[in-house]
Amino acid sequence: MGFLITARETPGKRSAGSLSWGGIDNTYFLDRSPARGGRVIMMQFLPFADTKALGVYDSFERGTYELLESLRHR
């Protein structure tokens, strides 16, 4: 099994060292760290890396980090 390893932090998204994976039907997995948990979003349509699918994935990733940050400050 192989993963993409993020080399540099992406503001509002993943930190350096995060693991991610993308599947053929626009299924995506991201693991920021064991303490922060993983995220999975599954769509089932082609082509892979469709612009709309990538937009949904970006919104999903940013939204989960915003939610986690808001919960940390409670």
pLDDT in tens, the chain (74 residues): 689 999 998 888 888 888 999 999 999 998 876 666 788 999 999 999 999 999 999 999 999 889 888 888 88
User: CB–CB of 41/60 below 8 Å?
Assistant: yes
Task: Look at the pTM and tell me if it is higher than 0.75.
Answer: yes
Structure tokens at 72: 């940390």
How confident is the model at residue 49, as a pLDDT?
Answer: 94
Between the CA of residue 30 and those of 9, 20, 56, 73, what are the distances in Å? 14, 4, 14, 23
How confident is the model at residue 2, as a pLDDT?
Answer: 83
How confident is the model at residue 1, as a pLDDT?
Answer: 67
What order do you get walking across the sheet with 19-23 strand by strand? 4-5, 19-23, 27-33, 37-42
